[in-house]
Structure 1
């Protein structure tokens, strides 16, 4: 077994031979990609593949549902949404101990924190943001019934359930971190969201975690997204929750310093990059969906991020050895302040 990879190479090789009809040497290597599903590089002869599986020791619950992820990307193969080619999926735990799937390897840039030199020219900077919102619009204009994903979720009441779900997550965390007073602003944001849930919302395919580091840009300018990744939270619901999530991870001129600069890169307020408002206007033109209640959707996104991070901190206090989780001691109060600033109109679109 390769170092730091919880997959038996010999067993996987035998499965690939059985399913794809070829016996080739195999090498595995871990890929650092987020804090959810485990991502493994698979070199199988002269082919490069990517394997996705739930984290070791955890079951395939909704938060780590690789079968759902595979199903969505497989359904999108012939649409305008750029996704990798799917190779195979397996729900037989006798193979590697969990569900998993394999997809083609794509060569490109995942942008986390630092601006890629190849995209630093002014025309590339403008195109960078446009490509992101145009791709998001392509997700939200998929014929969800036509591609066979109409049963993916329950769109009626989706947005209200999002507020309820993350409120419960926050309650669970605060019961364990015991810092309600310190995070009173965050609870106030939750109360405001409950009172301001939109009564009528659009219904489309939703990615669930659409932000800069969950897409893959091609290797050369101009910026072009060649793969939208990490679909484990994909569903049928309110597309404006996706847009709000994207917007709170786009750093604009006049914003305070990002709480999480890896996923909200500070370089985005440099000359040449589009503003949030410009990106919203382009999204609306491309998708035909109007961003109503923009303050609600941005506040919801900021609230979700802060609540999720307080859950991380609660897990750290309960013994999870994770340096990122430990940082939430300081980061969550900062995130709570930002969410309240959005509610109060101090951080504008």
Structure 2
């Protein structure tokens, strides 16, 4: 889509370097490139082709988190629009080790990763806003520019998840999930929700890791469409994405979940706690766990792209059993 000369020009406009290498990165839904300068420095060029109007909020949110927390993020070297005609950002390139999943990491590294995830999200969730919605840049500052009604937002998320499941092997449970989920969302007590910055997709694919380092997480990446929401939702979703892999034993899952929660609730900060897993929010916790389970079910085939049908069937049975537990929890919550 973009000529090499234009990409080189874009980088050199915001970074003091002479570009020698521009390699496209195939992963992701935007146009992105690994760039090297004549002095050996490496950069990551991301072009906001997917959501150009919203894209400037991404590097701005990264700068905000870097300024307000100790969460490891790549440095934003600069942003621009010309000569590409769409907004772009240049970050320092952060290398990492490819890992097939949390289960592929050594036990110590997996525990550290999950504890760090809890610590990082606790810090991110201390960045509060006055409304739920999408973030933008107003007069140079990050602000909520697309305010949303949170209950409506949750309901729409549930509907999307269920609709995607209808074409899968879980089509037979969709009506139950839709009915229970809608009832949960309608009855949620949202009075305790204090909108915070959320990552929204904190999973291994969006991390740069070094399993041999004391701090396993080298960088938290992919801040596309930054937004605010209930921090409990973000924590529950991350917990599921990191600790519910098909190749993790029940014992290892419990260990990793405990590490995450310990990091989230005791991150060592002297400031106010992010309010991890409040004891008076059973309804929100259940609703978010249901949404997380639906997401995992929806991605079963992507999680096991080369697995045998026997392995996929076993994973589907596990999802169904855990879903039944959640639906039983809804019945207990409502006294039905």
In the superposition, the TM-score normalised over structure 2's length comes to 0.71
Give distance in 1, aligned partners of 2:34 and 2:250. Answer: 30
Cα gap change, 1:164/1:139 in structure 2, threshold over 3 Å: closer, same or farther? same
- Offset of 1:279 from its aligned partner? 3.2
> Contact 1:244–1:298 at 8 Å: present in 2 too?
no
User: Does 1:274 pair with 2:291?
Assistant: no
> Contact 1:27–1:42 at 8 Å: present in 2 too?
yes
Partner-residue secondary structure (3-state), 1:274: helix
Give distance in 2, aligned partners of 1:71 and 1:190. Answer: 34
**Hey, what does 1:113 align to over in structure 2?**
101
Give distance in 2, aligned partners of 1:20 and 1:234. Answer: 24
**Hey, what does 2:7 align to over in structure 1?**
12
Please point out which of 218, 232, 236 is paired with 1:240.
232
Give distance in 2, aligned partners of 1:174 and 1:268. Answer: 25
User: Does 1:51 pair with 2:32?
Assistant: no
- Offset of 1:340 from its aligned partner? 4.4
**Hey, what does 2:155 align to over in structure 1?**
164
The structure carrying a bigger strand percent of its residues is: 2
Give distance in 2, aligned partners of 1:274 and 1:66. Answer: 37
**Hey, what does 1:26 align to over in structure 2?**
21
**Hey, what does 1:320 align to over in structure 2?**
none
The Cα offsets for residues 222-248 of structure 1, whole Å up to 9 and x where unpaired, read as 233231111114212211111110122
- Offset of 1:211 from its aligned partner? 2.6
**Hey, what does 2:285 align to over in structure 1?**
297
The Cα offsets for residues 78-113 of structure 1, whole Å up to 9 and x where unpaired, read as 232221100122334x51x64322210112235442
Cα gap change, 1:83/1:59 in structure 2, threshold over 3 Å: closer, same or farther? closer
**Hey, what does 2:189 align to over in structure 1?**
198
**Hey, what does 2:137 align to over in structure 1?**
none
Please point out which of 197, 206, 214 is paired with 1:222.
214
**Structure 2 regions of 5+ residues with no counterpart?**
131-139, 268-272, 331-336
Give distance in 2, aligned partners of 1:42 and 1:8. Answer: 14
User: Does 1:285 pair with 2:271?
Assistant: no
The Cα offsets for residues 259-298 of structure 1, whole Å up to 9 and x where unpaired, read as x64xxx6268439x73525532542233341413356335
> Please, which moves more after superposition, 179-188 or 10-19?
179-188
> Contact 2:184–2:283 at 8 Å: present in 1 too?
no
**Hey, what does 1:183 align to over in structure 2?**
174
**Structure 1 regions of 5+ residues with no counterpart?**
1-5, 252-257, 314-322
Give distance in 2, aligned partners of 1:240 and 1:154. Answer: 19
> Contact 1:86–1:102 at 8 Å: present in 2 too?
yes
In the superposition, the TM-score normalised over structure 1's length comes to 0.69
**Hey, what does 2:62 align to over in structure 1?**
73
Please point out which of 130, 142, 160 is paired with 2:115.
130
The Cα offsets for residues 33-79 of structure 1, whole Å up to 9 and x where unpaired, read as xx54444222232221112235xxx64178xx432211200222323
**Hey, what does 1:101 align to over in structure 2?**
89
Cα gap change, 1:110/1:234 in structure 2, threshold over 3 Å: closer, same or farther? farther
Give distance in 1, aligned partners of 2:319 and 2:241. Answer: 12
Give distance in 1, aligned partners of 2:60 and 2:35. Answer: 20
Alignment size in residue pairs: 304
> Please, which moves more after superposition, 292-301 or 226-235?
292-301
